[in-house]
Amino acid sequence: MDTHAPPALGTLHGVGVGPGAPDLMTLRAVNVLRAAAVVAIPRRNAYSQSVAWRIAEPSVGPVEGQERLFLHFPMTKDVSILRPAWDEAFGKIGERLVRGLDVAFITEGDPFVYSTFIYLLREAPTRWPGVKINIVPAVSSITAVPAATGVPLADGLERIAILPATYGVDDLTEVLTKFDTTILMKVSSVMPKVVEALEKTGLLHCATYVSKASTADERIVRDVQSIKNDHCDYFSMVVVSKKSRSGILVESASHAVDALAAGVSPEALNAAVVR
Ligand SMILES: C[S@@+](CC[C@H](N)C(=O)[O-])C[C@H]1O[C@@H](n2cnc3c(N)ncnc32)[C@H](O)[C@@H]1O
C-alpha cells in the first residue's frame, strides 16, 4: 500500500439554510452541517455578521472538532474587487478539500437561486478535478414571500417571471404585461423605476413589497408607491400578482392544454371554466 498517496478529496456541499426563520431549515441541512468537518460561512467583510450563519447556528449548535471558516465575499459588482476575494475564499476551501475534509458552504435561501455558491460550483471541477458535489435545496425567498403575503405564486395557466432587478429593469413594462406573476428580487436600489413601471402598466394595486420574509423583522407593504423613494432593505422583494387568469380546475388541465394547442386564447379558456 502506498502510504504517501494523498487523501481522497473531501465532498463540497452547497447547503441552503432557508429565508430567515431558523425553523424553516430542512432536517437535511442541519444533518449535513453537523456532519461536515468544515462549515464555510460567507460574509461581506471581517466585521459583518453572516446572515446565513445567523439562521443556521441555533439549529447546528456547537460541534466538537468542526471548523467554522468565515470567508469574505464583498458586496459589489466590481470584478476587480470580486475576483481576488473569490480566489482567496475558494483557495481556503480547496486547502481543506485536498486534505480530505468535507466542506459545507452555507447560503441564505436556496443555493441555486442567485447565490455565491453557484460561482464556486462552476469553478470546482477545474480547481479540484473529481471533487464530489452535494446540493441541499432549501425554502427560497421565492416561496417564503408568497407565504407571507397570502397570495399564491401561481396556479392554473399562470406564468411566473423572476428578475434580478438591480441588474436592470428597462424591460419591466413588457415583462409585467406578459407574465401573470412577476418577482423582482434585489429590488432595493431600483424601487423608483419599479414603481414607475407599475404606474405605467396600471398594476400598482397588484404589487406587494416584502422585506425579511419569515423573520421577526418581516415587513409587508401593500402600497408600494408609499415607499418609492425609501432606502429599502437588501433582503426585500416586490411581487406583482395579477391573478387575472387563475382558477383553471385541475380536472380541466388536459382539456386546457388541448384547447390552447388548438388556438383558443387563455383568457377565453379561463372564462369558460367554472371557478
Ligand atoms: C443574493 S439573493 C439570494 C436569494 C436566496 N438564495 C433565495 O433562495 O432566496 C438575495 C435576494 O433574495 C431576496 N431575499 C432573500 N431572502 C429574503 C427574505 N427573507 N425576504 C425577502 N426577500 C428575500 C431579496 O430580493 C434579496 O435581494
236 belongs to a structural domain: yes
**Same-domain status, 176 and 131:** no
Q: Are residues 80 and 177 in the same domain?
A: no
Q: What is the pLDDT of residue 132?
A: 97
Residues of the chain with pLDDT under 70: 1-3, 247-260, 265-267, 269-275
Distance 96 CA to ligand 1 centre (A): 29
Contact call for residues 133 and 14 (beta carbons, < 8 A): yes
Q: Is position 250 within any domain?
A: no
Q: What's the pLDDT at 273?
A: 47
76/158 same-domain check: no
Task: Report the nearest-CA residue for atom 11 of ligand 1.
Answer: 186
**Do residue 130 and residue 167 come from a single domain?**
no
Q: Residue 17 is part of a domain; what is its CATH number?
A: 3.40.1010.10
Are 163 and 182 in contact by the 8 Å Cβ rule? The answer is: yes
Convert the pLDDT of each residue in 52-97 to its tens digit.
Answer: 999 999 999 999 999 999 999 998 889 999 999 999 999 999 999 9
Q: Which of 92, 109, 139 is the last residue of a domain?
A: 139
Instruction: Give the structural domain span for 92.
Output: 12-139
204 C-alpha to center of ligand 1: Å? 22
Within this chain, do residues 165 and 97 fall inside the same structural domain, yes or no? no
The pLDDT score that the predictor gives to residue 250 is 44
For residues 31 and 131, membership in a common domain is answered with: yes
Residue 247 domain flag: no
| pTM for the whole structure | 0.88
Q: Could you tell me if 52 and 166 lie in one domain?
A: no
Q: Return d(Cα 273, Cα 275) in angstroms, integer.
A: 6
Instruction: Say whether both 128 and 36 belong to one domain.
Output: yes
Same domain, 103 and 171: no
Residue 19 alpha carbon to ligand 1 centre in Å: 7
Overall number of domains in the chain: 2
Which of 114, 139, 164 lies at the terminal end of a domain, its last residue? 139
